[in-house]
Chain A
Amino acid sequence: MPINKSAFRRYKVIDMLLQNKMKRYPTMQEIIDACYDKLVVDISIETIQKDIAQMRMSPPDGFDAPIRYNRSKGGYEYTNPEFSLLGVQLSDLDIETIKESAELLQLVGGSRVSEKFNSAIEKILTTVLEEFPSHKHREKHVQTMVPPPSRGFEHFDLFYAACIHKQPVSFIHYSYKKRTFSSIIIHPSLIKEFENKWYVVGYSEKHQEVRTFGMDRIFSPFALRKKFVTLHDSTLKSMQQDYYGVFPIPNQPKQQITIEASALATNYFLAYPIHSSQEVEKQSHGSAIIHFELIPTLELTRLFLSHGYHVKVQSPSWYVTFTQKLK
């Protein structure tokens, strides 16, 4: 039997009274008065008796609360003084930290992931604020980039579930470049976010290899009951660790890429390393030779080119030519 919200609020008042070491053994009238003070509603004796009975029940119906009426003291008590309805005892600092964390989670977590996660985060925030109300208005001191909703993002939950449950997915793909539609069956293994764009990575039956598809170009996905092609762990690990970006340059293995960065560009590479393999050899005049050990991608190339004359690719030679052609 689900516990309704108003009943749960009364449970919390009862729990608070039973935990109060300064005023032990609250009487029925004291519980009724406390409920009235905290919740501003009239509560009957019968309701409180039912609440206590419900709290004593085993989960999921109740909380296994060890409540008993102490005849000698004329009030109620927890037979286990360590018991708490919320499971843990929190200090003021703990509570403040939880409130801050919930607010931060809302700022950075919410709309960047799916509606489902957004809704879950809203629930956490609402619960925390209800549990630990604050009278002072909090100003926002953190601003994060929250882009407007993008096309295809509504498929996030389906692909996420497909990755977890290992279900192939059929979808229609539109190629912006070729201006063609295709029917694709992917065996999704990874959902990737890069620069606020979302991608699905997995084995594509049509291409007979691992492919990456932008969610914005995906239409009408259906999860399929079909044998799943699992990617090798090393492939998956490499996709997660050896890329800067999403789309690898075809047929290029993991390799060392070296660039020369001006003093200005070096500041940015030092402040915001783009890959865990980044190694900076700083020169006396402030510029640097920077090495990366990764699989070159189109996004890496685009990043280098975005620095203009401040970044020059030094090696390997094929990549020098590749980059120059894109200028």
Chain B
Amino acid sequence: MEKVTPSLLFEISEQEVQNPKMLRVVLTENHTRIDFGYTTPWFYRKGGWIKISPDTYLKLKILNKKFPLLNAEGIAIAPKRLDFQSTEDWQFFSLYFEPIPRIDCEFDMIESDKPTKNDFNYYGVVLNIINGIELV
């Protein structure tokens, strides 16, 4: 019988105020999933919009390898975009990347190598395998 590697879920500890907020990471055999929550800011008329670049990738500090974006749920992949209707809107979304190895690691999520304040770049996300919780 084929051995199935259990999926592991990691809660991301409270970070500095960042919008979208990174909430969870799920490692499966087929992908690495990262969940985010976004609230529309007051300074964009009707809340503005969000999208994610198809060139977004994960980068592990200890490996010289990129893990590209495979899919997205709840957010549009550029050039499409998700338009909001108000400054009180909010959106939960998930990004799916190529599976990263199951090792203790620190990774960055990079939407743009030359980021502006509008790009979703995250640095130094720590995963300790011992903290992963198996999914049923």
Interface of A with B (CB < 8 Å)? 167, 170, 172, 174, 179-183, 185, 219-220, 222-226
- Which chain B residues border A181 with CB–CB below 8 Å? 21, 23, 36-37, 39, 90, 92
> Which of A167, A174, A223 has the most C-beta atoms of chain B within 10 angstroms of its own C-beta?
A174
Determine whether the beta carbon of B134 is less than 8 Å from that of A224: yes
Determine whether the beta carbon of B134 is less than 8 Å from that of A170: no
Cα–Cα, bound, A185→B9 (Å): 11
Determine whether the beta carbon of A183 is less than 8 Å from that of B11: yes
Cα–Cα, bound, A174→B6 (Å): 28
Determine whether the beta carbon of B90 is less than 8 Å from that of A179: yes
- Which chain A residues border B126 with CB–CB below 8 Å? none
Distance to closest chain A CB from B47 (angstroms): 12
- Which chain B residues border A223 with CB–CB below 8 Å? 135-136
Given A179-B88, A182-B23, decide whether A225 and B6 contact each other with a Cβ distance below 8 A: yes
Q: How large is the interface on B (under 10, 10 to 19, 20 to 34, 35 or more residues)?
A: 20 to 34
Determine whether the beta carbon of A220 is less than 8 Å from that of B94: yes
Interface set, chain B 77-126, CB cutoff 8 A to A: 88, 90, 92, 94
Sample (26) of A-B pairs whose CB atoms are under 8 Å apart: A170-B9, A170-B11, A170-B24, A170-B133, A172-B23, A172-B35, A172-B37, A172-B92, A174-B37, A179-B39, A179-B88, A181-B39, A181-B90, A182-B23, A183-B11, A183-B12, A219-B92, A220-B35, A222-B135, A223-B135, A224-B133, A224-B136, A225-B6, A225-B134, A225-B135, A226-B134
User: Which residue of the partner chain B has the closest CB to A219?
Assistant: B92
Cα–Cα, bound, A220→B94 (Å): 10
Distance to closest chain A CB from B39 (angstroms): 5
Query: Is B58 interfacial (CB-CB < 8 Å)?
Result: no
Query: Is B26 interfacial (CB-CB < 8 Å)?
Result: yes
- Which chain A residues border B26 with CB–CB below 8 Å? 222
Distance to closest chain A CB from B95 (angstroms): 13
Distance to closest chain A CB from B126 (angstroms): 15
Interface string of B1-32 (1 = CB under 8 A from A): 00000100101100000000101101000000
Distance to closest chain B CB from A262 (angstroms): 38
Determine whether the beta carbon of A224 is less than 8 Å from that of B90: no
- Which chain B residues border A185 with CB–CB below 8 Å? 11, 133
User: Which residue of the partner chain A has the closest CB to B12?
Assistant: A183
> Which of A182, A183, A222 has the most C-beta atoms of chain B within 10 angstroms of its own C-beta?
A183
- Which chain A residues border B88 with CB–CB below 8 Å? 179
User: Which residue of the partner chain B has the closest CB to A226?
Assistant: B133
Determine whether the beta carbon of B135 is less than 8 Å from that of A174: no
Given A219-B92, A220-B35, A224-B9, decide whether A183 and B23 contact each other with a Cβ distance below 8 A: yes
- Which chain A residues border B24 with CB–CB below 8 Å? 170, 172, 183
User: Which residue of the partner chain A has the closest CB to B24?
Assistant: A183
Determine whether the beta carbon of B92 is less than 8 Å from that of A167: no
Beyond known contacts A172-B92, A181-B90: 13 more, CB 8 A cutoff: A170-B133, A172-B23, A179-B39, A179-B90, A180-B37, A181-B39, A183-B23, A183-B24, A222-B26, A224-B135, A224-B136, A225-B135, A225-B136
- Which chain A residues border B135 with CB–CB below 8 Å? 222-225
Please tell me which one of the listed residues B12, B92, B94, B134 contacts residue A174 in the complex, with CB atoms under 8 A apart.
B92
User: Which residue of the partner chain B has the closest CB to A165?
Assistant: B136
Cα–Cα, bound, A226→B134 (Å): 7
Distance to closest chain B CB from A181 (angstroms): 3
User: Which residue of the partner chain B has the closest CB to A206?
Assistant: B11
- Which chain B residues border A179 with CB–CB below 8 Å? 39, 88, 90
Determine whether the beta carbon of A220 is less than 8 Å from that of B9: no
Interface set, chain B 32-63, CB cutoff 8 A to A: 35-37, 39
Cα–Cα, bound, A167→B134 (Å): 11
- Which chain B residues border A222 with CB–CB below 8 Å? 9, 26, 135-136
- Which chain A residues border B133 with CB–CB below 8 Å? 170, 185, 224-226
Determine whether the beta carbon of A220 is less than 8 Å from that of B92: yes
Cα–Cα, bound, A223→B136 (Å): 5
User: Which residue of the partner chain A has the closest CB to B33?
Assistant: A220
Cα–Cα, bound, A2→B135 (Å): 33
- Which chain B residues border A170 with CB–CB below 8 Å? 9, 11, 24, 133
Distance to closest chain B CB from A79 (angstroms): 46
Distance to closest chain B CB from A163 (angstroms): 13
